[in-house]
Every structure is written in C-alpha cells, then in structure tokens.
Structure 1
C-alpha cells in the first residue's frame, strides 16, 4: 500500500459519510480543493470511479459502496487499536469527536469544557453541531448527545444532563398589543416564530402537557428560522411568541426583556444522554469525558 493510500481511503470514507466535499473537508481539516484532488487521484490509481458528483451532493457509486463495506470496519479497527494504545498512558490523550444539537452543546458541553481541558490537556474535543440524527458509526464519531428517548436501541445511552423545560416567551412590547394566551390553543390567534427542523425539513410542532397528556400545537407566523439564537432575538424585538428552552430564556426573563407564558403547560422532560455503539470499546479519552459530564457540578 502506498503511504498516502490510507489517508486517501479515510478521506473517501468521510466524503461518503457526509455526502459533501465541503463538510468532509471541514471534518478532515483540509481545503475542499485538496480533498477533491485527493479523491480524483485515488480514483485514477484504483482505475474505478468511487464517487458520483452533482452540483448539490456527492454519493458513493456502486463500486464505492463495495469498497466501503470493507473499508469502514477496517478504519474502525484502526481507531480501536489506537484507542487501546491510549490505555497504556497514565493520563488519557487523543481526540473525542461528538455530534449533538446546538442546545446540547450550549447547555451540557460548554459549562464543563474549561475544567475538563485543564484536567486533560492532551485530549482534543471536537464538537459537530447538527440537528439531524447523524450516524455516529459512518460519520466516525466517538459519541453523540441527544434526548434519551430519541437514541437508537442498539446504542449504549448514559444520562448526562438534568431535566429540561420549554419556555413560551414574548416581549412586553408584543404583549402590549394583544392579550396573552391563556391556553396553548389560544396561540392560533397570535404571531408565533416557527423553527424549521433540519432533519425533516418540517416545522416544529410546539409540545405541551395537560394532566399528563401530551399534545402538540402547530402555530402560524411571519417568521421561520432554523437557528435558536435568531428565534430569541426575534422574540426579544417584539416579532412574536417563541418556544425555546428555559435556560435559553432565563437571561432575557431576568432583565425583563421577555415574559414567560403558559408555564403550567410546560412540565419537565428527561434531559440529554450521551450515546455510543454498544459493540465499541470506549476509548480512554471518551471515558474521561463522560466521567467529567457525570461528575457533580460545584454549587
């Protein structure tokens, strides 16, 4: 095997997993042009086309899929071997690659990172924010963080976050224009700020509970975003009612920039879980990261 073949094969697996040269290049830490050149050179050396390219996407050809059947387990084996070598070290080292939602990164990961990185200076943490359910095996992630009830059954799942509550909020300026909703059903008479889900492309239906019974309300409004920060800003500026997480709303509520609505209809839900494949031995760096997530936080 040529010296660069392993690097190029690993890059090919990343492109196939991401379905995009741009996203794969970011993951691999190289330029898109260099990655494209490496894939063309690999195809020339092998004498077969591995990737089908269009203006919008990239996908493995039939020959590429056949190669991936052998390549993915081999790359996982290499990762496992390197992780095993890491167990020989007195202090864990290596990289922890994680996929999660933006809210999970903000509420679960960011608060613990300073202490963790100080304790483990030889561990590099890479966080890939994505609202879609990325396949952590094909994407070569060590683990993911999602709500526990949404984790696949073949994964090991460990709770790493407290219960969460949604918060329905609006600015005082908006509420000065019309009466506040008294029940979730009243939202149909209001301008609401919708969230477009990356995974399905649909609009998120606001979730509520009444005497233990869960129900959804589909709201209407002039604004739709796929980013929580933009929803917060729009609500603060009086553009409508928003449905965000309680910890996101807290700073705005404390300053009187937003007012909480329908609080009794928004009970706690189980928090985030870290999950990883059950057949994979946990690398020492990930074990240290998980331990830090589960450790009691200072009061």
Structure 2
C-alpha cells in the first residue's frame, strides 16, 4: 500500500463521518472535486463502490460500512499512539548521562539534583565521576561539567558556578620547619605534593598570576596523587605544600589545619560550566537540569 492509498483511506473516513463532500472537503482542506476524485480512485482500486451519493447526502454502502468498521479502530489506535508520543515529548522523563569531576559533583551537581529529582520521578540521572576531560560525544554522555577554561569551543557552555581561585596551602607544622614562600620561585626550596592530570597523564604545573605576570611552576616532592582529596590530607599531615581549588580547603583553612600562602598570586578564573554539543536536541528533562544548575549570581 502506497502513501496515496493511505491518504485516500483517511479521506474516506472523513467523508463517512461527515456524510457530506462539502463538510469533508472543508475539514480536509481540499476542493470538492479533488475529494471526489480521491474517492473514485479508491473505489476503482478496491473494485467496489464504497459510497452512495445523492444530491443532498453521501452515505457508506455495505462494503463502505465494513471498511469503516475496519479502519476506524486502527486510526483511533494510531491517534492514541501519537498522543502518547506527544506526552513523552512534553513530560520530563528519560535518562541523562553526565560526566563530572568529583568536586563539581559534590558542590554543584548533587545539590541541584537533590532539589530537582523529588518533583520529577521519571527523570533518571547517571553520573560518571572522572577528573579528566572527557569527549562526551564519544562517551555518549548528554553533558559534562568542567571548569570553563577547559570547555571546547564547539560546545554550548552554560555557567553553573561562580568564579574560582586556586589555593596554595600547608600545615602549621610544616611551616614550623620551613619558611613561608613569598613568591612562586620560592617553591623550588619546598617539598610539594604533586597532582597527575587524568586527561593528559602529565604532572600539574602550579599556575600563578600577579599584575599580568603569569608563572607555571613545576614542583617536586615525595608524593603524587591523581585527586585533590588525598593531596589535601597529605598536606594536613605536614608532608608538604598542596595546590588545589580554594573551596576544597576553605574549611581546613578556617579550622586552622592548613595555612594559605601566595594568596596574592592566585587570581579568580572561570568557574564550572555545563557543556554539551550544539546539535543536541534539548529534551524537557535536560532543559530542567540545565535550569536547575544555571548560576544566577
């Protein structure tokens, strides 16, 4: 059966319901002559008369009634299926896969989900914790969360957090044995805790900036970690200086477990962004997540 047959069958249903070529043509947006031609074509194709025409009305023949009884439930079922698809489109539901660093997951993503998910039980979120920069297209993720300066230019980036700063810290016990560094160059005389970058495998070069002067410093020490939490724990234990995001060590600084140094060499930089491919069709569920995460500071 081709598309013309389906169109003619649909037109037949309308004519049978309206019992009038005039009303059926108006409902279908066709001329009466085009509609009459379609009905003749259908009857010729089936080899049997389907409609009885008079000057005042149109009514199905016995064969037409049988065809109507067959078609009507099928059309109703199709219409209901289309309605259900429309509900899925409009109802926030489905699974959203997000790749995110541990710090961003705890500080931004989880608080947003904690507010959002109770009101939308049909939304499911799969969270992949990874501190490296992930190709979300290759990894089949819907979105990623990373620092703004690390987001690729071909992605849509939505700011979800305030500007951030790095913090160079050490334990009070460490500074009882070593002088407080005054410039980044002084770090050459200190024991430092290295961080290996998950994406590149290289050691993180500590980044500093002051009065337009940018310095990237390679540090040395006994310990290297792939995540900041253990580096902070080692710093609190006095094993050396650590460099991490300010938020991670704010409580430790406040409570005196760590002392911040080189503060004037750590200016703000773009904070976390949610990023996703520009060609992505935004579903209601994904749009809700974006809105829940969007930074409004």
CA distance in structure 2 between the partners assigned to 1:126 and 1:270 by the alignment: 26
CA distance in structure 2 between the partners assigned to 1:163 and 1:121 by the alignment: 32
Residue 211 of structure 1 pairs with residue 214 of structure 2: no
Task: Report 1:193-208 matches (<5 A).
Answer: 193-208=193-208
- Name which one, 1 or 2, has greater alpha-carbon Rg: 2
Counterpart contact for 1:136–1:144, Cα < 8 Å: yes
Q: 1:229 corresponds to which residue?
A: 229
Change in CA separation of 1:173 and 1:290 when aligned onto 2, cut-off 3 Å: same
Change in CA separation of 1:295 and 1:211 when aligned onto 2, cut-off 3 Å: closer
CA distance in structure 1 between the partners assigned to 2:103 and 2:214 by the alignment: 22
CA distance in structure 1 between the partners assigned to 2:295 and 2:240 by the alignment: 39
Q: 1:175 corresponds to which residue?
A: 175
Residue 288 of structure 1 pairs with residue 288 of structure 2: yes
Counterpart contact for 2:159–2:295, Cα < 8 Å: no
2:89 aligned residue (81, 87, 90): 87
Distance apart, 1:87 and its partner CA: 2.2
CA distance in structure 1 between the partners assigned to 2:241 and 2:148 by the alignment: 28
C-alpha RMSD of the superposition: 1.9
Counterpart contact for 2:169–2:235, Cα < 8 Å: yes
Task: Report 1:84-163 matches (<5 A).
Answer: 86-89=88-91, 92-163=92-163
Distance apart, 1:85 and its partner CA: 6.1
CA distance in structure 2 between the partners assigned to 1:86 and 1:153 by the alignment: 32
For residues 245-295 of structure 1, the C-alpha deviation after alignment (integer angstroms, 9 at most, x for no partner) is 111111101111001111010010011111111112112211100101116
Q: 1:243 corresponds to which residue?
A: 243
Describe the SS at the equivalent of 1:234: helix
CA distance in structure 2 between the partners assigned to 1:252 and 1:159 by the alignment: 27
TM-score (norm 2): 0.68
Change in CA separation of 1:264 and 1:285 when aligned onto 2, cut-off 3 Å: same
Q: 1:14 corresponds to which residue?
A: none
Distance apart, 1:122 and its partner CA: 2.2
Change in CA separation of 1:182 and 1:84 when aligned onto 2, cut-off 3 Å: farther
Long gaps (5+) in structure 1: 1-81
Distance apart, 1:202 and its partner CA: 0.9
Describe the SS at the equivalent of 1:112: helix
Distance apart, 1:94 and its partner CA: 1.5
Counterpart contact for 1:95–1:123, Cα < 8 Å: yes
For residues 125-164 of structure 1, the C-alpha deviation after alignment (integer angstroms, 9 at most, x for no partner) is 2111122222211211111111223222221111111100
CA distance in structure 1 between the partners assigned to 2:97 and 2:144 by the alignment: 9
CA distance in structure 2 between the partners assigned to 1:83 and 1:253 by the alignment: 54
* Count of aligned positions: 214
Describe the SS at the equivalent of 2:177: coil
Change in CA separation of 1:160 and 1:203 when aligned onto 2, cut-off 3 Å: same
CA distance in structure 2 between the partners assigned to 1:186 and 1:83 by the alignment: 64
Change in CA separation of 1:295 and 1:274 when aligned onto 2, cut-off 3 Å: closer
Counterpart contact for 1:169–1:259, Cα < 8 Å: yes
CA distance in structure 1 between the partners assigned to 2:178 and 2:120 by the alignment: 53
Q: Which runs of 4+ in 1 moved over 3 A?
A: 82-86
Q: 2:256 corresponds to which residue?
A: 256
Counterpart contact for 1:86–1:284, Cα < 8 Å: no
Q: 2:34 corresponds to which residue?
A: none
TM-score (norm 1): 0.68
Distance apart, 1:296 and its partner CA: 4.5
Change in CA separation of 1:275 and 1:83 when aligned onto 2, cut-off 3 Å: farther
Long gaps (5+) in structure 2: 1-83
Describe the SS at the equivalent of 1:98: strand
